[in-house]
Amino acid sequence: MSLKGKVAIVTGATGGIGRQIVENLASEGINMVLGARRAEKLEEIKNSLPSVKIEVVKCDVTKQGDLENLVEIAKDKFGRVDILVNAAGVSSQYPFWQQPKEDIEKVMYTNYYSYVMLARLVVEIMKEQKSGHIVNITSGSVMVDPPPRNFIVYTSLKVALRAFAKGLFWEMRDFGIKVTSLFPGVTRTPLTNRLKDISEEQSRLMEPEAVAEAVLFALKQPENVCPLELAVINQRTPWKKPVIPFKQDHPDK
């Protein structure tokens, strides 16, 4: 299925996963509006991909006005939005009792609110078009139950995002709008560099290419097929410690 000439908004375009998605979308001839806070990095990415039309927008996804501006620019420059890829995100690894309040707020607005709000803004356009595809980069952690220790705010918001996307699919499918949630395992990106307890054996981490390939897989399905959820998980566990310890010292000990 040809994607040439379609228009995509991609958030997190300067990140490990987002950047690779942008490259893969460009290789299919998809024009893009890219959002992130680092404007100079966005320009660099635009200049490296001359085969497609790219608009770059300095955007803080925790700010409502910036989200609205991103979608407005896509409408103004291209007149349509066929694809939204939500790939902006932050990591957050704390024992809950030590997690700063500001961190909880940042994760909520970046990893959850911006995804939902951008979906809200683009569905109006996609509904008019009677077509569109929303792809959320969620997380493989949603498949771990209970949520992994030290990641409970991060993971529970990803679980909420997963639930949101499933509901959105059922609500929007009669308008021709597809929704895909992608659950990557631990991937080699700047985000992972900041985490503790990741294996030093780099070959245990996935490359962003695996995630970007899964995005294209989702986008290339026939009109009547929607890959609602795709999990691309590490074959070799990347953690030094189990994510759910099976043994714990009693607090009184």
Catalytic residues, which ones?
A: 154
- Does the footprint of ligand NAP cover residue 16 (CB under 6 A)? yes
Q: Nearest approach, Cβ of 43 to ligand NAP (angstroms)?
A: 12
Of 23-31, 53-61, 71-79, 216-224, which part binds ligand NAP (CB under 6 A)?
Answer: 53-61
Query: Is beta strand 177-184 parallel, antiparallel or unpaired with respect to 229-232?
Result: parallel
d(CA 54, CA 77): 10
Q: Identify the H or E element spanning 225.
A: none
Comparison of 106 and 127: residue with beta carbon closer to ligand NAP: 106
Residue 54 parent element (H or E) = strand 54-58
Among residues 31, 89, 133, 180, the one that binds ligand NAP under rule CB under 6 A? 89
C-alpha 145/C-alpha 155 separation (Å) is 10
Q: How far is the CB of 202 from ligand NAP (least distance, A)?
A: 13
Q: Where are the beta strands (DSSP E) in the chain?
A: 7-11, 31-36, 54-58, 83-86, 132-137, 177-184, 229-232
**Cα 174 to Cα 130: distance, rounded to the nearest angstrom:** 9
Are the C-beta atoms of residues 233 and 185 closer than 8 Å to each other?
A: yes
Shortest separation between residue 76's beta carbon and ligand NAP, angstroms: 20
From 6, 7, 8, 12, residue interacting with ligand NAP (rule: CB under 6 A):
12
Query: Distance between CA 130 and CA 120 in Å, rounded?
Result: 15
Say whether residue 243 binds ligand NAP (CB under 6 A).
no
Q: Choose, by CB under 6 A, the member of 45, 52, 88, 157 that binds ligand NAP.
A: 88
Residue whose C-alpha is closest to residue 122's, from 160, 83, 161, 92: 83
C-alpha span between 4 and 77 (Å, rounded) = 17
Q: Does 71 bind ligand NAP (CB under 6 A)?
A: no
Applying the rule CB under 6 A, the residues between 161 and 190 that interact with ligand NAP are 184, 186-187, 189-190
Minimum separation from the CB atom of position 186 to ligand NAP (A) = 4
Contact footprint for ligand NAP (CB under 6 A): 12-18, 36-38, 41, 59-62, 87-90, 110-111, 137, 139-140, 184, 186-187, 189-192
